[in-house]
Amino acid sequence: MLSSAPADSSLRPPDDVTDLVVADRRIAGLSWSAYRSVLDALIARAALDHGACRPRQEGDTRAQGHRVVREYLSSEDGEGYWDYFQLNDELTLSITDATYRRDHWISVEGGRFFKVRVLLAGKLLQPDGEVMLQGPHAQLHVCAGERGGGYAIAGGTATKLVVLHCAPELLTRRLGFAPGEAPYPLQALTDDNGAAGRAVKIRLTPELLRAAQWIDASRFSVLPAVRTVCLEALAMQLLCHTVTDLSGREPYKPTMSLPPRDLKRIYDARDHLAQHYASPPTIPQLARMVGMNQTKLKAGFKQTFKLTIYAYILQRRMEATAQLLVEREFSVAEIAYRVGYEYPANFSCAFKRYYGCSPRQWKRT
């Protein structure tokens, strides 16, 4: 039995959305095959209830009529929902718009698939509680047979997350990659001898961010008859930007591990910089703070995080800037001061070098 929408008016779907199906079971975190099966079952059930079912042809996501599945959070978990769209047999889209009361674990089951996550707002956490992604940021997760792992959605903060759920065939049938030719780490899905998958951050370009924002904004602003075509085009645009970003990368080669004591100090340094990026300590000050030789700290930091200390501070400043620009509450000059720049002109130059456009151009996207 399909459940009805909650009584809370703030969580009701738009009045003109007539093809929305409310899920009666949890979908987030299911394995790839179970995930697709549940969506198919819910959509088919709704089509039968409305007397609009006809045989579904392969690749025809419109055959069932109802194409939007919504999973509401329970009152115990928080407020909000996950929306799911079947775009074709190889590509599904989910949009999370929710606030969890507590950190909420999402299990990613094993299989062969990949996901592109664009976190527009909120935080995703690793199993140990470390921040994995902080919006706005993007990530590619490749699963090539091993268990997929998972992440936690940070509680107490509004989360907006756009995710492409992709079958490996998308790389060969739609993007035309031959086995072994896809950029790392996607090659693990097109190469029979590929290594196990992993998660990597993606550079959040203005084009990628814009595609994710349009996906979120247009899901109910276009005619239902053309919604799937529109969202599929935007999803493929997002995917193409992701593949382009990956094309120049080399596989990660692990280096010699650090002693646990040194590694803890390096993480302590990283955590301090993450909180004080607007007014960071000098490297000698940071080294004294964590009780480590500054030469060893600089070398260990780069080995552990693949960034120099300066590059990490810049990354945190730019990530914070992108979030403030998305929120549109502050002027460019105000944002410059907030993230640690004394002169807005220097801030604008740094932002353009990092993202390829000016803060004002980004703000208009």
pLDDT tens for each residue of 314-335:
988 988 888 788 776 789 999 9
Same domain, 81 and 214: yes
pLDDT of residue 48: 67
Check pLDDT > 70 for residue 13: no
Other Cβ atoms within 10 Å of 345 Cβ, number:
10
Residue 4 within a domain: no
- Tell me the CATH number at 347: 1.10.10.60
The average pLDDT across 343-361 equals: 86
Q: Which amino acid is at 130?
A: E
Q: How many distinct helices (H) and strands (E) make up the chain?
A: 12, 12
pLDDT of residue 283: 94
pLDDT of residue 256: 57
Per-residue tokens: 318: 């730019």
Q: How confident is the model at residue 191 (pLDDT cuts 50, 70, 90)?
A: low
Same domain, 44 and 146: yes
Higher pLDDT, 251 or 302: 302
Task: Please write the tens of the pLDDT for every residue from 92-125.
Answer: 999 999 999 999 988 877 778 899 999 988 899 9
Q: How confident is the model at residue 5 (pLDDT cuts 50, 70, 90)?
A: very low
Residue 255 within a domain: no
Same domain, 105 and 232: yes
Same domain, 270 and 217: no
Same domain, 67 and 192: yes
Of 228-237, 249-258, 297-306, least confident by mean pLDDT is: 249-258
Q: How distant is the alpha carbon of residue 18 from its chain centre?
A: 28
Q: Where are the beta strands (DSSP E) in the chain?
A: 20-22, 68-72, 78-88, 91-100, 104-107, 112-121, 123-125, 131-134, 137-144, 150-153, 159-166, 199-202
| Residue 62 belongs to domain spanning | 9-246
> How many whole angstroms separate alpha carbon 53 and alpha carbon 307?
54
Of 27-36, 166-175, 239-248, 341-350, least confident by mean pLDDT is: 27-36
Question: What is the count of structural domains for the chain?
Answer: 2
Check pLDDT > 60 for residue 194: no
Same domain, 73 and 203: yes
Q: In the listed set 224, 246, 268, which residue is the last one of a domain according to the structure? A: 246
Check pLDDT > 60 for residue 9: no
- Tell me the CATH number at 41: 2.60.120.280
Q: Which amino acid is at 99?
A: T
Pairing of strands 20-22, 68-72: parallel
Check pLDDT > 90 for residue 341: yes
